[in-house]
Amino acid sequence: MSTLEDRLERAQRVSVGEAAAQGAARFVKAAEKEKLVDVVFARVGSPFGELLIA
Amino acid sequence: MPRARSTSVRPPPFQAFLDGHREEVYRFLTGFVGPHDVDDAFQETFLSALRAYPSLRNETNLKSWVLTIAYRKAMDSHRGRGRRAVPVEDLPEQPSRGSHAEDHALWDLVQALPGKQRAAIVQRYAVGLPYKEIGAILDCTEEAARQNVREALKKLKEMMS
């Protein structure tokens, strides 16, 4: 028989990856709508130096 | 996605931050506000994080930082809205609540706990945070975080008996 703590800890083993990815996609759309995407950026190295990409 | 240079104090690109922490935030919010409200709370959390991100300096624990935002957003949302009945047929899937019906019932009881105790129990058991980190998020000591979890477990046992 599992304890209360065991039952609560089972939540850690359930995957939320897909739901979180869908939530992230909705967030990006909302950020675009609020014109906040200019700060969603990444800096990457390139043969020409560091580039800023959206 | 590139990695931040180890010598830099600049936070990683926001996209990398989002990718790295979205599951913990989603897991916390599902346990804290429930499956019906998790998507709105998730969006509000990351919009706030995005607005604050450019001014971040020397933040050493981005996970605690974003979970603190999530906690505050969820508390504000809960206070503003109050608890409301949600028709069962409107509830979406409950991905972080385990596959057993009795676990769903248990997480419904968690929803009835006071805010700080609820946050502590979700952070401890659903997210798996140490007490020190829970204390940092709830703005209390490590011992107070432990006490919140103890009180929450006691209340849950009372509700189940």
**Residue pLDDT tens, chain B, 161 long:** 444 444 455 678 899 999 999 999 999 999 999 988 999 999 999 999 999 998 887 778 999 999 999 999 999 877 766 555 444 444 444 444 445 677 888 999 999 999 999 999 999 999 999 999 999 999 999 999 999 999 999 999 999 98
**What pLDDT, on the 0 to 100 scale, is given for residue B77?**
76
The tens digit of pLDDT for each residue in A1-54 reads 579 999 999 999 889 999 999 999 999 999 989 888 765 554 445 555 555 444
CA dihedral B84, A8, B143, B139 (to 10 degrees): -40
Rounded-to-integer distance, Cα B45 and Cα B23, Å: 13
Complex-level ipTM: 0.78
Which residue(s) pair with A43 in the sheet?
A52
| Shortest Cα–Cα distance, B98 to chain A (Å) | 5
| Shortest Cα–Cα distance, B78 to chain A (Å) | 19
Rounded-to-integer distance, Cα B123 and Cα B28, Å: 6
Chain B residues 44-103 with a CB less than 8 Å from chain A: 46-47, 50-51, 53-54, 93, 95-100, 102-103
Rounded-to-integer distance, Cα B39 and Cα A24, Å: 9
